[in-house]
Amino acid sequence: MQDLYHEKTVDAQVRAAAALLRQSRRVVLGAHPLMDGDAVGSMFTLVHALRAAGKEVLAVTQDGGSGKYECLQDGIELCALEKLPPALSGYDTAVILDVGAQSRARRVLERLAPGTRVVNLDHHVDNPGFGDASVVLPDASSTGEVVYHVLKEAGLALNHAAAVALFVAVVTDTGRFNHSNSTPESFRIVASLIEDFGLQVSELTQRLYRSKSLGRIRLEAMVAETLETRLDGKIVVARVSTEMLLKTGCDAMDAAEMVTIPKSLGGGMLCLMFHEIEAQLLKCSLRSEGQMPVNEVAAKFGGGGHKRAAGLQVAGRPVAEVERAIIEACEVALVQTLGRTGGAIIC
């Protein structure tokens, strides 16, 4: 009975969001800072689908461009928020994508004119469900999957460019179908995109994963040199600094992707990727193999995310001090969790 109630609730949420998209004429799209493949892919899936339906769309970034996902733009401009007017007037709807905490979209939301309807599409378990219409599906592989269901309900068709963007959203957030969020539904969606739009998978994955700059490879080598382990290898720690980025010509989006290096070390249950931005500004990405929910640790430091992938940022305290506090919190949490579960994977 509870599952049926949940299903009806989700259906109602999807219908409400779809209705707002159908009614909209001018739409602002925003996501979290340093957009990853899911955020960028979800955004450009909507850009292409909404514009094909005759709607005017403004795609906004809170920081830089789309990095290695620039191919998804297909000639469409991605506008830096700092270059736009203080008030984004004349838009009837704003769609906020892949934002677990409303604060991560604050800079976009505060620019909206009064009366702008907000649609919140996400898959983070800690998303509070803000907005005039909110579809938060924690069991979805990606925000791209959420966008797919809302567009389908709205009767807004995908085209080839939207299909490519959606493919990127799902494939990147499932880690090329390596992560536990690789559900049968995520496989079905990608299979339908390949069949319906003739996507060239080899070409797309070449762009995403097998084409790196010399600077990017050098950065990976530098980060690998920082690897250290705790609790007999159960916790793996790595670091990237602003100085490393300057030496290699890489940027913050490259830094965010360095988390795959500590995560790849055999025997690790939990990995931490520290990014020292300034002397008193630290970003940390946390990844779990499933024995411990990292979003609970992230929440203690003002962050959040998924059980197996979370992040946080701390300002105003020395980086070394914050690192020690985070590592200690992770050690305590992992020992407690293993004592309770015996190392079983937490679903």
Strand order in the sheet with 56-61: 79-80, 56-61, 26-31, 93-97, 117-122, 133-136
pLDDT at 252 over 60: yes
Distance CA 141, CA 146 (A): 9
Task: Check residue 177 and give its pLDDT.
Answer: 93
Tell me if 92 sits within 8 A of 120, measured CB to CB.
Answer: no
Question: pLDDT digit string (tens) for 223-239?
Answer: 999 999 999 999 999 99
Question: pLDDT digit string (tens) for 129-140?
Answer: 999 999 999 999
Overall average pLDDT of the 195-213 stretch: 90
Task: Check residue 72 and give its pLDDT.
Answer: 81
Give me the chain's average pLDDT, please. Answer: 93
Q: How confident is the model at residue 179 (pLDDT cuts 50, 70, 90)?
A: confident
Task: Check residue 8 and give its pLDDT.
Answer: 66
Return the amino acid letter for 257: E
**For residue 268, which phi and psi values (nearest 5 degrees)?**
-75, 140
Overall average pLDDT of the 36-46 stretch: 96
Contacts made by residues 100-103, CB under 8 angstroms, sequence distance 24+? 100/124, 100/125, 100/126, 100/127, 100/304, 100/305, 101/126, 101/127, 101/128, 101/304, 102/128, 102/130
pLDDT at 54 over 80: yes
- Measured over the CA atoms of residue 177, residue 240, residue 305 and residue 268, the dihedral's sign is positive
Task: Check residue 53 and give its pLDDT.
Answer: 97
Token readout for 3 is: 């599952």
What DSSP letter does each residue of 102-163 carry, written as one string? GGGGHHHHTTBPTT-EEEEEE--TT----SSEEEE-TTSS-HHHHHHHHHHHHT----HHHH
pLDDT at 126 over 50: yes
Q: How confident is the model at residue 211 (pLDDT cuts 50, 70, 90)?
A: confident
First to last CA, the chain: 21
Between the CA of residue 59 and those of 16, 29, 118, 161, 256, what are the distances in Å?
22, 5, 15, 15, 22
Tell me if 79 sits within 8 A of 60, measured CB to CB.
Answer: yes
Distance CA 59, CA 79 (A): 6
Task: Check residue 6 and give its pLDDT.
Answer: 59
Question: pLDDT digit string (tens) for 279-334?
Answer: 999 999 999 999 999 999 999 999 988 899 999 999 999 999 999 999 999 999 99
Distance CA 229, CA 122 (A): 33
**For residue 283, which phi and psi values (nearest 5 degrees)?**
-110, 145
pLDDT at 212 over 90: no
Assign 347 to helix, strand or coil.
Answer: coil
Q: How confident is the model at residue 41 (pLDDT cuts 50, 70, 90)?
A: very high
Overall average pLDDT of the 218-222 stretch: 97
Q: What is the DSSP letter of 28?
A: E
The percentage of the chain sitting over the pLDDT mark of 70, rounded to a whole number, equals 98
Spell out the residues 6+ positions from residue 113 whose beta carbon is closer than 8 angstroms to its own.
87, 88, 89, 90, 91
Instruction: Tell me the pairing of strands 93-97 and 117-122.
Output: parallel
Instruction: Tell how far CA 48 is from the center of its chain.
Output: 20
Task: Check residue 3 and give its pLDDT.
Answer: 58
Task: Check residue 4 and give its pLDDT.
Answer: 46
Q: Of 26, 91, 83, nearest to 53 (Cα)?
A: 26
Overall average pLDDT of the 251-256 stretch: 89
Q: How confident is the model at residue 5 (pLDDT cuts 50, 70, 90)?
A: very low
